[in-house]
Structure 1
Amino acid sequence: MQLSAVLLIAAATLASAETITTTQPSPEEIEKARATAVPLSPTSHVKGLAFDRFIQIWLENTDFDDAANDPSLKKLAEQGITLTNFWAITHPSEPNYVAAVVGDEFGMDNDDFWQLPSNISTVADLLDTRGISWGEYQEHLPHAGFQGFYYKNQETGADDYVRKHNPLVIENSVTDSNIRPHQIKNFTSFEKDLREHKLPQWSFVTPNMTNDGHDTDITFSGKWSLDWLTPLLQNKYLTRDTLILLTFDESGTYSIPNRVFSLLLGGAVPRRLRGTKDDTFYTHYSAISTVSANWRLPSLGRWDCGANIFKLVADKTGYVNYEVDTTNLYLNHTYPGPLSDDPTPNWNVPLTGHERCSAGQGILHKVKRTWGHLKPTYDYTTPFPIDEKHNINTGVKFWKPKRHHGH
């Protein structure tokens, strides 16, 4: 596909999105949609190197120290590994969610209604290469595959579900399908899938705007996390060989480095490592590179390519993570792109050559076929985004440590 065609698709997609940003469907419309929006729960049993199921749960807008000192999260930390050097990508919320499933945020510096064109591949495409089941669980999503901008609590009027916290519904490569939207479900479906042993091997969990701390605070979201996770961590079906990432979309203070409190929990965490800390540098892109390395999947060729892999998996593959001097790193704003308030005309082009990204399985064939005739926009092999043209994150030192003999 030529670049002009790529841009035409994107322009048409974004233009159509603008017409449906402001209204909430009526209860009658929701009930009518529920009749055909049947949740789907595909399952699979593909063995991974370090875990067989990956669940990530996102909370909202909290500085690292505030989360680390929360009593509820401290209790959870005793059961897992605290990632002390985990970074969000930018501000505000939506670009972080998008980045975690497509490997880029395309300059997004707002929480607007977006639909990414269908030629942007996602983590779902990676998982599908090996038949690994996936799904999303969005609290108070009115029905499976709902694509609206928001849905308020019909009794209290509180903000419950918001599209900006639902990363896969923002991708046309997901919503254009007749099947994929049915795998984006609510918490009622989570409870049913758990009860019937039909949880997918990859899932993204978003609490509502109250429980995730967006409209409350860390005390509330921390307690919700402890209350919600405690019985799940005791459920042998869910936790067996499962890695749970509990993290935050971004820091609450925009002027400080965008480091966020994160925990690894679940049965895939060895007992000897529970209650410990991991100081390795990670970003939201590491969630993609880790999943790719664990299941021997390709890369999207974007910022997931060079992203560090969670040590649990890196130790299994022999991959040596980058070390990063974060003294001058902030990751608190985006680089220019087609989704910014001051948009550029072109979409970022991923790597499509023979690069061996951190996961070690090359680039997704679909990405190579779509973008291979174009020059990559960035050197995506770095552990965090660097834009030399606009002097973003330049000068931050990173290096590969020498491996010890015999390891």
Structure 2
Amino acid sequence: MKATVASLLAMASLSYAQTANTSEPTLAEIEKAAATVEPYSPTSDVKGLVFDKFYQVWLENIDYDVAANDTNMQWLAEQGILLTNYYGTTHPSEPNYCASASGDNFGMDNDDFHQIPSNVSTIADLFDTKGIAWGEYQEGLPYAGFQGYNYSNQETYANDYVRKHNPLILFDSVTSNSTRLRMIKNFTSLYNDLDNEKLPQYAFITPNMTNDAHDTNITFGAKWERGFISDLLNNTYFMNNTLVLLTFDEDDTYAKGNRVFSILLGGAVPDSLKGTTDDTFYTHYSIIASLSANWGLPSLGRWDCGANILEIVANETGYVNYDVDTTNLHLNETYPGPLSDSIYSEYSSVWPVPLTNATCSAGNGILDIVKETYKGREATFNYTHPFPYDTASNYNVDVTFTPLPPLPLPPLT
């Protein structure tokens, strides 16, 4: 029986995809790949409860109060909803990016070159259950799907793209499939996709090491972000029922607790909510839970399972978030895991097992492949909590939380 063109292309795609076995290709290899690899820009139109497109832009390593005092960040907050109680998950940078894609950081307390096994599911698997087009845009990435540790500006040799700020490149389930790899693109592709109206419904957007404030400061990073976002806010195609999260990976003063200045804006934010605040407790895990609730997607069975959902989404689903007392909360370290260097956590050779049977905050159960992969195994942590904790290592065990009171019903008209 003859294979279809589509199936032949799919087989070819999988056959030449390969997870990198070295942390840094040569410049000649990079240049060769850049001349031949074609970015892939799928589109979809899956309606959501609150938004149809979701994009997040992360800056780097700024304390909440420092960001709050910047005039450009203040201007951005006026365009949407300021999230006053949003937290990173640990330190340093990379485990936060990892957490945003998989609902866990696996004890990671470093910025090392990691390759996470293919039996660990990610948000890409969630989106694929409903055919929701996703992508990443990494400024300075030399070509789509580049797996190297970094890529410097070739004229100034300044830091530019770094792997540690690229969530999905960390996962073998992504890098072993060239179709998925080619959806991890650079800013040239971002503007091409914008101009051609081929943006995905979900994207993670990472500025380079200058623009994200890592190698500069909040004044520089916020000025860049205001200019970047202002152009997009004036684009009708981009704005159409779109929700944008502007946040930071972590704070800068580790002892402060890791609260980061975060804003929701875009066409999906009603005019009545612009310039307002949302004081609900959130972490990077809340974003996965909110995406699941918006599009009716399952959970990864990790810390996204019990995470609070963005209020703008929770109001539409009827989910009651939790009020978390952050007095004893420590999100500037993490629990034991196999990716630890024993800096802000303890090394453990055991990969944490996710939940396989739970409703989770989005109310859609657990991803089927997670249930199949870990069937019959007990979850390592109680992932139904709205924040990460671990009784074995005494991590965040003294933190209390209670359901928030229900919102008042709107007046009858």
1:146 aligns with 2:146: yes
Measure how far apart 1:404 and its partner are.
6.7
Gaps of 5+ in 2: 1-18
* Fraction of identical pairs, as percent: 61
Q: For 1:159, what is the secondary structure of its paired residue?
A: coil
Superposed CA offset, 1:15-59 (max 9, x none): x97x623x4531x32221023321000000000000000000000
Aligned to 1:345: 349
Aligned to 2:269: 269
CA deviations over 1:274-294 (Å, ceiling 9, x no partner): 000000000000110000000
Cα distance, 1:167 vs structure 2: 0.6
1:208 aligned residue: 208
Q: Which runs of 5+ in 1 are unaligned?
A: 1-15
> What is the Cα deviation at residue 405 of structure 1?
8.5
- SS of 1:179's equivalent in the other structure is helix
1:332, distance to aligned residue in structure 2 (A): 0.3
Q: Which residue in the other structure is 1:395 paired with?
A: 398
| CA distance 1:404–1:238, shift in 2 (3 Å) | closer
From 376, 379, 392, the counterpart of 1:376: 379
Deviation track 1:225-257 (CA, whole Å, cap 9, x = no partner) reads 001110100101001100000000000011111
Counterpart amino acid of residue 356 in structure 1: T
Task: Decide whether aligned partners of structure 1 residues 228 and 405 sit closer, same or farther in structure 2, where only a CA change above 3 A counts.
Answer: closer
Task: Confirm or deny: 8 A CA contact 1:24 1:151 kept in the other structure.
Answer: no
Q: Within 5 Å, which residues of 2 pair with 1:224-243?
A: 224-243=224-243
Q: CA deviation at 1:402?
A: 4.6
Distance in 2 of aligned mates of 1:404 and 1:261? 24
Runs of 4+ in 1 over 4 A off after TM superposition: 404-407
Please state if 1:336 is matched with 2:339.
no
Tell me the equivalent position of 2:254: 254
The AA in structure 1 aligned to 2:117 is P
How far apart, in 2, do the equivalents of 1:105 and 1:198 lie? Answer: 31
Partner amino acid, structure 1, of 2:392: K
Alignment of 1:345-364 (within 5 A): 345-353=349-357, 355-364=358-367
Give the secondary-structure state (helix, strand or coil) at the position aligned to 2:26.
coil
Q: How many residues align?
A: 388
Counterpart of 2:351, as a letter, is W
Change (3 A) 1:82 1:39: same
Distance in 1, Cα, partners of 2:407 & 2:75: 35
SS in structure 1 of the partner of residue 151 of structure 2: strand
> What is the distance in 1 between the residues matched to 2:133 and 2:173?
16
Q: State how far apart, in whole Å, the 1-side matches of 2:374 and 2:183 are.
A: 27
TM-score of the superposition, structure 1-length normalised? 0.93
Could you report, residue by residue, the CA deviation over 1:87-110 in whole angstroms, capped at 9, with x for unpaired residues? 000000000000001000000000
Structure 2 length as normaliser, TM-score?
0.92
C-alpha RMSD of the superposition: 1.3
Distance 2:36 2:47 in 1: 33
